[in-house]
């Protein structure tokens, strides 16, 4: 009876560094091939092994600024002197094809997207505790003690933005976090505002009408006439 919109669902996933955003995203995509992860655009030079259109969309600073002026970016920011952002066109293309799109981005970018696309699904990922978050950051062994403490301090500020998201997931176990995210996505697709059309002129509806019709209360229903 119900026809839902073909349009895919835009999922925005954020959380403090060390919350496990990329791990959860990778597992979600592995279990759900219809979910496409958005590719960011950047003005920095490609690093060894990076491929344009797969790792990033690599452009010049002038080209990036032109995209911003023409409102072709869903969000953007500057890190270490380079532009980074989410191009609108590629995301919209996949959504229009009925694919769900996930963006793993910082809170600053997520809030920019919320202003432009408030209908998107915003999910915040939390560690089970701040003690566990600190352990994860330290166990990476990829940054100095000062950098780890900087990220840990930033996490407190980021958590204060939690109320601006639709859902929160505590990432204690990756498989549990992914299951919760899948459940949220399924629930969002059952929202009334995703219904495009309701069909009432169906065989089931005709049968129902016949069964409740007082004139036919004591008469057998001829199923052949309902086809």
Mean pLDDT of all residues in 147-170: 88
Number of Cα atoms under 13 Å in the Cβ half of residue 116: 17
Over 90: is that where the pLDDT of 171 sits? Answer: yes
In a domain, 54, yes or no: no
The whole model's pTM is what? 0.79
78 assigned to some structural domain? no
Phi, psi of 168 (to 5 degrees): -130, 140
Q: Does any domain span residue 48? A: no
Q: Could you tell me which of 145, 97, 129, 68 has the C-alpha nearest to residue 137?
A: 145
Output phi, psi for 83, to 5 deg.
Answer: -80, 140
Q: What pLDDT is attached to residue 199? A: 59
Q: What distance in Å separates the CA atoms of residue 32 and residue 114, rounded to the nearest whole number? A: 24
- Owner of token pair 């299951």: 179
CATH code of the domain containing 142: 3.40.50.300
On whether residue 132 sits in a domain, the answer given is: yes
- In-domain check, residue 65: no
Q: How many domains does the chain have?
A: 1
Q: Is the pLDDT of residue 215 over 70?
A: no
């Amino acid at each position: 009876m119900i026809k839902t919109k073909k349009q895919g669902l835009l999922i925005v996933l954020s959380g403090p560094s060390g919350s496990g955003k990329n791990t959860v995203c990778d597992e979600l995509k592995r279990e759900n091939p219809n979910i496409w992860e958005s590719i960011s655009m950047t003005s920095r030079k490609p690093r060894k092994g990076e491929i344009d259109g797969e790792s990033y969309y690599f452009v010049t600073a002038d080209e990036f600024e032109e995209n911003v002026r023409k409102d072709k970016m869903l969000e953007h920011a500057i890190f270490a002197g380079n532009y980074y952002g989410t191009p609108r066109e590629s995301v919209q293309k996949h959504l229009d094809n009925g694919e769900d799109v996930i963006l793993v981005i910082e809170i600053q970018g997520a809030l920019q997207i919320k202003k432009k696309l408030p209908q998107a699904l915003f999910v915040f990922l939390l560690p089970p505790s701040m003690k566990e978050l600190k352990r994860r950051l330290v166990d990476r062994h990829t940054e100095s003690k000062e950098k780890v403490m900087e990220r840990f301090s930033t996490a407190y500020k980021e958590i204060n933005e939690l109320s601006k998201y639709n859902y929160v997931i505590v990432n204690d176990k990756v498989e549990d976090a992914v299951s919760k995210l899948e459940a949220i996505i399924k629930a969002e697709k059952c929202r009334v505002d995703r219904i495009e059309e309701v069909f009432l002129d169906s065989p089931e509806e005709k049968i129902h009408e016949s069964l409740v019709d007082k004139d036919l209360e004591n008469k057998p229903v001829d199923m052949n006439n309902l086809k």
